[in-house]
A = this chain, B = another copy of it.
Amino acid sequence: MGEIGKPDFDGAFRRKLEDLIVWRRDVRRFRTDPVDGTLIDRLIELACLSPSVGNSQPWRFVHVEDPVRRAAVRDNFIASNAEALQDYSGERARLYARLKLAGLDDAPVHLAVFADRDTETGHGLGRRSMPLTIDYSVVAAIHTLWLAGRSWGLGVGWVSIIDPVRVRADLDVPEDWILVAYLCIGYPVEEHADPELVRLGWQDREEMGKFVLRR
């Protein structure tokens, strides 16, 4: 395709893109109304344009629709959440319990996203010394889907308090697929520019200076 049709990204677009980055949020409270399936398909198509190591395209998307399978994932979350609670005590535990960490019950779309670590696609290029780049490629795809979804008014919640091996079994997908994210997708009840964990007093944003070194 070369340089033909190269788009011009102007200041107005960049300002909106910054808004999108600010207003993309991890959403836990969803409206239950359905999302058009063709929109989800389009978001997955866009996600598949993300960078991947050696062009390995290791992303695998599993629509979780069967109520029995959804219930298994919900049970998995509840068990993992109970285990995680043991790590906290007192005020922090109470806060944690209040956080309503999963939109599993309300989100109309559930998407489990896996990395196919053994894919032949890409012929292994670029991942010999850094094998986790396969997972990283899948994260890039998830983030593309997230940002594009937000531009359509959709919210995404990434559930990580879950046993990934059990998800793989409960969804009956190949054994060499590794769960990277279990995503809840739907229209958010409310929209915010600040993270829920900041609003709830769990963890503030840190100062930028902490993150940058020069060498």
A94 at interface (Cβ–Cβ under 8 A)? no
> Nearest-CB distance from A61 to chain B (Å)?
5
Question: Contact residue range for chain A?
Answer: 35 or more
In the complex the two chains form, what is the Cα distance from A2 to B152 in whole Å?
19
Known: A19-B7, A46-B18, A136-B139. A61 touches B212 (CB 8 A): yes
Closest B residue, CB atoms, query A68: B215
CB atoms of B3 and A9 under 8 A apart:
no
CB atoms of A54 and B197 under 8 A apart:
yes
Bitwise, A19-31 to B at CB < 8 A (1) or not (0) is: 1111110100000
> Nearest-CB distance from A29 to chain B (Å)?
13
CB atoms of A130 and B162 under 8 A apart:
yes
Closest B residue, CB atoms, query A136: B139
In the complex the two chains form, what is the Cα distance from A87 to B142 in whole Å?
30
Partner of A57, one of B88, B132, B133, B205: B205
Known: A20-B9, A63-B213, A125-B96. A133 touches B151 (CB 8 A): no
> Nearest-CB distance from A12 to chain B (Å)?
9
CB atoms of A160 and B133 under 8 A apart:
yes
Q: Which residues of A contact B (CB under 8 A)?
A: 1-3, 5-7, 9, 13-14, 16-24, 26, 44-46, 48-51, 53-57, 59-66, 69, 80, 83-84, 87-88, 92, 96, 101, 112, 121-130, 132-133, 135-136, 139-140, 142-144, 146-148, 150-153, 158, 160-164, 171-173, 179-181, 190-195, 197-198, 202-206, 208, 211-215
